[in-house]
């Protein structure tokens, strides 16, 4: 496969079909995109593909992937992705997860990180750090959309999408992605109560990258996440919200490349 060549296939895992995209060549890098799937169109992914074979699975219910009834939580998806690594015979894999994808990556690592080389979590959900009445994670489904945009983005204008100009097929995928996101993460809201008690199992070098201005899950939440993973490091990116890789791609790539090297 040439550096910028892309391939997309349907691969059977555990009796269901997952959509898998592969870009570039080199050492394997598993990229787990976030709930909005904006990473698929981000230039930094093609930049990574100059040095890595970037493997991008679509979770159940996202893209063209099946969504069987027995998949109900991000932890279920973690097992599918571990099976995927074995099916593709990938070893020493750098795993980079964004938002929901970061949560799934953490769920994978606490189960079995033997095939990982390094783990990067970018503003991941997945844990509850405060008490029962503390709002650790802002409610993206109940808050007004303009409020969510202001919490999610340092520059909310960067997050706007022109849905009116999108083809019907693309809109259908966006709607399906968001429906699946809600199904998997609604209750308990955006976390697995058991995950924080398992993060000590992660043995691979781990970096958390956080937007300094993330109002959905703040850097304090990120610091609590980091402290639960042995030896983990954390960096924050200025003038960036929940998606620092989209708002500040140069700073993001500098931190990511420095760690992966």
- pLDDT digits over 8-34, tens only? 999 999 999 999 999 999 999 999 999
Q: What is the pLDDT of residues 174-222, one digit of tens each?
A: 999 999 999 999 999 999 999 999 999 999 999 999 999 999 999 999 9
Would you state the pLDDT for residue 3?
45
Asked whether the beta carbons of 94 and 27 are under 8 A apart, the reply is yes
What sign does the dihedral 18-199-154-43 (CA atoms) show? negative
CB 122 within 8 A of CB 58: no
Contact 88, 57 (CB under 8 A): no
Q: How many CA atoms lie within 13 A of 190 on its CB side?
A: 20
Q: Structure tokens of 11?
A: 């691969």
The mean pLDDT of 74-100, rounded to a whole number, is: 98
pTM (predicted TM-score)? 0.97
Mean pLDDT computed over every residue of the chain: 96
Segment 218-235 shows an average pLDDT of 98
Domains (range + CATH), the chain: 6-260 (3.40.50.1820)
Q: What confidence tier does 69 reach under pLDDT thresholds 50, 70, 90?
A: very high
Q: Is the pLDDT confidence value at 2 over 50?
A: no
CA distances from 219 to 146, 212, 213, 214, 230 (A): 21, 6, 8, 7, 18
Q: What is the pLDDT of residue 67?
A: 97
Task: Quick: pLDDT tens for 113-141.
Answer: 999 999 999 999 999 999 988 999 999 99
pLDDT at site 4: 61
**How many C-beta atoms lie closer than 10 Å to residue 90's C-beta?**
17
DSSP assignment, residue 115? T
Per cent of the chain over pLDDT 70 is 98
Whether residue 202 contacts residue 231, with contact meaning beta carbons closer than 8 Å, is answered with: no
What is the pLDDT at residue 5? Answer: 74
Give the model's confidence band at 6: pLDDT under 50 very low, under 70 low, under 90 confident, else very high. Answer: confident
254 φ, ψ (degrees, to nearest 5): -65, -45
Q: How confident is the model at residue 1 (pLDDT cuts 50, 70, 90)?
A: very low
| Mean pLDDT to the nearest integer, 53-78 | 98
């Amino acid at each position: 496969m040439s550096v910028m060549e892309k391939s997309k296939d349907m691969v059977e895992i555990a009796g269901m079909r997952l959509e898998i995209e592969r870009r570039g060549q080199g050492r394997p890098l598993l990229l787990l995109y976030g709930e909005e799937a904006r990473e698929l169109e981000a230039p930094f992914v093609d930049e990574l593909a100059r040095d890595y074979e970037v493997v991008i699975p679509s979770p159940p219910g996202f893209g063209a992937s099946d969504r069987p009834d027995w998949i109900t939580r991000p932890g279920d998806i973690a097992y599918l992705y571990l099976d995927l690594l074995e099916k593709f015979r990938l070893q020493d894999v750098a795993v980079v997860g964004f938002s929901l994808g970061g949560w799934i990556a953490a769920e994978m690592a606490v189960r079995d990180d033997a095939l990982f080389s390094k783990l990067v979590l970018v503003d991941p959900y997945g844990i509850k750090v405060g008490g029962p009445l503390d709002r650790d994670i802002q409610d993206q489904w109940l808050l007004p959309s303009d409020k969510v945009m202001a919490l999610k983005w340092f520059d909310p204008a960067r997050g706007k999408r022109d849905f009116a100009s999108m083809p019907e097929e693309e809109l259908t995928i966006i709607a399906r992605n968001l429906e699946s996101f809600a199904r998997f993460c609604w209750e308990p809201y955006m976390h697995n109560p058991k995950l924080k008690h398992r993060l000590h199992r992660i043995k691979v070098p781990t970096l958390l990258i956080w937007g300094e201005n993330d109002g959905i899950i703040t850097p304090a939440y990120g610091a609590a996440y980091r402290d639960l993973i042995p030896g983990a490091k954390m960096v924050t990116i200025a003038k960036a919200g929940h998606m620092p890789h989209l708002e500040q791609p140069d700073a993001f790539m500098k931190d990511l490349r420095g760690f992966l090297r």
